[in-house]
């Protein structure tokens, strides 16, 4: 099996909503398990929070997420950025458009000095995204 890099996102208490949203963007199979299912709750009010979730899209995009229980520190947006890159312009533009819904585009998809098309945004959950569409090779 080939080694894969899988980003892992941490949310305070809305991992379920976030991962269901990402499934509408990327499609694929989403699995989610709660703290209660893993018998890992330290506080019964957090039983239904997501302890682990995985989204596996048909095109190979895979990432994971969980909620952060109250006994753990949570700092959104300070330790990760999601990056999408490739040469399928239509696919990447669609992802950019869908991810920006309700979020904030920090740089529109435009021709970049390095020859590619590049844009960035922060989605409605506070997750920063970079999208890089490879330019034509000489």
| 63 and 86 assigned to the same domain | no
| 54 and 87 assigned to the same domain | no
CB-based contact 58:106 (threshold 8 Å): no
Total domains in the fold of the chain: 2
Predicted local confidence at residue 1, as pLDDT: 43
Give the three-state DSSP class for 103. coil
| 12 and 55 assigned to the same domain | yes
Predicted local confidence at residue 79, as pLDDT: 61
Predicted local confidence at residue 24, as pLDDT: 97
User: Range of 118's domain?
Assistant: 82-133
Q: Which of 67, 100, 117 is the last residue of a domain?
A: 67
pTM of the model as a whole? 0.77
Predicted local confidence at residue 42, as pLDDT: 82
CB-based contact 12:76 (threshold 8 Å): yes
CATH of the domain at 23: 3.10.180.10
Predicted local confidence at residue 113, as pLDDT: 82
Provide block-wise average pLDDT over 10 residues at a time, the chain (138 residues).
Answer: 73 95 97 89 88 93 91 78 88 96 97 91 92 81
| 47 and 91 assigned to the same domain | no
């Amino acid at each position: 099996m080939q080694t894969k890099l899988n980003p892992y996102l941490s949310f305070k208490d809305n991992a379920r909503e976030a991962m269901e949203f990402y499934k509408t963007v990327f499609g694929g199979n989403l699995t989610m398990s709660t703290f209660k299912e893993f018998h890992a709750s330290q506080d019964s009010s957090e039983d239904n929070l997501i302890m682990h979730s995985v989204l596996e899209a048909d095109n190979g995009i895979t990432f994971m997420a969980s909620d952060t229980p109250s006994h753990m520190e949570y700092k959104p947006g300070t330790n990760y950025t999601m990056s999408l890159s490739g040469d399928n312009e239509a696919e990447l533009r669609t992802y950019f458009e869908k991810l920006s819904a309700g979020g904030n585009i920090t740089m529109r998809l435009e021709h970049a000095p390095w020859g590619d098309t590049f844009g960035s945004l922060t989605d409605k959950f506070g997750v920063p995204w970079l999208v890089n569409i490879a330019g034509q090779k000489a």
